[in-house]
Chains A and B, each alone.
Chain A
Amino acid sequence: MEASKVISAAPEAEFVPKILALVCTYCTYTAADMAGSARMQYPPTVRIVKYLCTGRIDILHILKAFEAGADAVMVSGCEAGSCHFLEGNLRARERVEYAKKLIAEVGLEPERLEMFEVAASDAPKWVQVVREMTERVEKLGPSPLHRVGASFAQVEAAVQRVVAQ
């Protein structure tokens, strides 16, 4: 009796959001690296794909990430005005805004996609945006496209394949 109770009460596997972060190597990646070096704590919900500049990020990369099973995608680049390639981050922002419309059209919540700006020296902000995004996804729940058993590696590999094309 007691045992069956335990079994029935056994929680379903706890939902751990899968968030793919598409970041630029100069600012956000450096901040994330610093957060790691400084042993800052943040949820283990995010995997990073590093780009030379967020200007390289294609809307197709974002859509493929969702298709592969990501619960959310965050794009993070330099602060406005400090892009190493002058306006890559501004272009990324335009694309992210357009991509939000595209995913809303197919019936996904646009909140599952967000653009952030994290300066190279701003490790605490990286921690903060990961927390913010994780909380947001926890509220939204798993992506309706969430593939049962899809691992971070699979999600990341799907994006890498598209990027390599």
Chain B
Amino acid sequence: MIIAERKPFREIQDMVAPYGNVLIAGCGTCVAVCLAGGEKEVGLLAAQLKLARNLAGQTGRLGEITVERQCDREFIEPLREVATDYEAVISTACGAGVQFLAALLQDKPVFPALNTTFIGVNEAAGHYTERCRSCHQCYLGITGGICPVTMCTKGLLNGPCGGPIGGKCEVDPARDCAWCQIYERLESQGRLQQIEAILPLHPHSRTTSPGTVIHPAYLRRYAAHE
């Protein structure tokens, strides 16, 4: 899932300082799981802003609403109506959700409350680590389920650099060397010969942003002009 962290409170406070009535729109999917922007976090941010505004003697209404996903038009469509009562909107979604909402509410300022960090996993409650750089070319099948693009600090595709010491990365000795782990994993599964395959240059050209994916079943609908 997408992992995000909440911005410092002061940054959020400054962004919405000129506005009276502000709607805080949460997202109930990835950022809710990583405790950054779900219904609970919307409540906490609203409570904090309310306290700060009371302290500063500011007035204005703070609305709270959380939709299932802000990256889906059908879920954010109702916000168009809700937002009419507010001068500005704070979105606690990832960058994708904030942009989708800002596009929907063309004439209204939409501010991000989070810094989107990476695609990762839930190690334990409150502990998230990166696993995928969404690089458009997955090597996990031949690297024993360990991603060299993400997990190797240098993103090397054909074995380790000369730096690992005792299975640890030379960039940060606290990290495991991804390629040492790949070696061990493949060895334990009896498919070490796979490591000998030379991977071609990584297709960085595919990662030109912004990316677009059209499902083959929908080519007629969306790509007919191509």
Contact = CB atoms under 8 A, between A and B. Distances in A.
B159 interface: no
A66 B43 contact: no
A76 B9 CA distance: 27
Interface of B: 8-10, 40, 43-44, 47-52, 54-55
B47 A145 contact: no
A107 interface: yes
A102 B10 CA distance: 11
Contacts of B49: 106
A148 B154 CA distance: 60
A145 B44 contact: no
Contacts of B51: 63, 66-67, 103, 106-108, 145
Contacts of A107: 51-52, 55
A102 B9 CA distance: 8
A59 B48 CA distance: 11
Interface residues of A, number: 14
A105 B48 contact: yes
Determine the main DSSP class of B at the interface with A.
helix
Nearest to B53: A106
A59 B44 contact: yes
Given A64-B47, A102-B48, A145 B9 contact: no
Contacts of A144: 55
Interface string A46-84: 000000000000011001101100000000000000000
A53 B21 CA distance: 37
Contacts of B50: 67
Contact of A108 (B8, B43, B44, B55): B55
A112 to B, nearest CB: 11
Interface in A135-153: 144-145
A161 to B, nearest CB: 13
A145 B55 CA distance: 6
B44 A67 contact: no
Given A102-B48, A105-B48, A106-B9, A67 B54 contact: yes
Contacts of A102: 9, 44, 48
Contacts of A106: 9, 48-49, 51-52, 55
Given A60-B43, A60-B47, A63-B44, A105 B55 contact: no
Nearest to A102: B48
A63 B48 contact: yes
Contacts of B40: 60
B10 A63 contact: no
Interface string A83-118: 000000000000000000011011110000000000
A107 B50 CA distance: 12
A98 B31 CA distance: 19
A103 B49 CA distance: 10
Nearest to B125: A91
A103 B51 CA distance: 8
B44 A105 contact: no
